[in-house]
Copies of this chain bind each other. A is one copy, B any other.
Amino acid sequence: MAEPSRELLHGTLEPLILKCVAQAPMHGYAIARWLEDATSDVLQIEDGSLYPALYRMEERGWIAAEWGISELGRKAKLYRITPAGRRRLAAVVAEWVRFAAAISKVLLPV
């Protein structure tokens, strides 16, 4: 995240990544590009945040890595979601919805 308060991203990177790899196996660089694209650059993913997040999630068993080939024919580490990851995704999305609704409820009445 660049100019928008970086703190907001805290805890949301993991759901975002899960969502990405739930759609299709994807490598780190592609995840970052896809997220920036999908949000019109509202989110900017630093790879200093991304790769550690990927390791954490792999360690926790939510995603699994495998070396393969990117769309451009280059060596890339492809991540796919695990069954535990799908359960986790459902949980964190539900949590995000609850949380965002709570915040909005407080913040939005101008």
Is A7 in the interface zone, CB < 8 Å from B?
yes
A interface, size bucket: 20 to 34
Q: A85: shortest Cβ distance to chain B, in Å?
A: 14
Q: Are B105 and A93 in contact (CB under 8 A)?
A: no
Q: A47: shortest Cβ distance to chain B, in Å?
A: 18
Q: Which listed residue, B4, B10, B97, B102, touches A98 by the CB 8 Å rule?
A: B4
Q: A105: shortest Cβ distance to chain B, in Å?
A: 6
Q: Are B42 and A99 in contact (CB under 8 A)?
A: yes
Instruction: Specify which of A6, A7, A102, A105 lies most central, judged by the most chain B CB atoms within 10 Å of its CB.
Output: A102
**A-to-B contact residues, CB < 8 Å:** 4-8, 10-12, 15-16, 19, 35, 38-40, 42-43, 92-93, 95-108
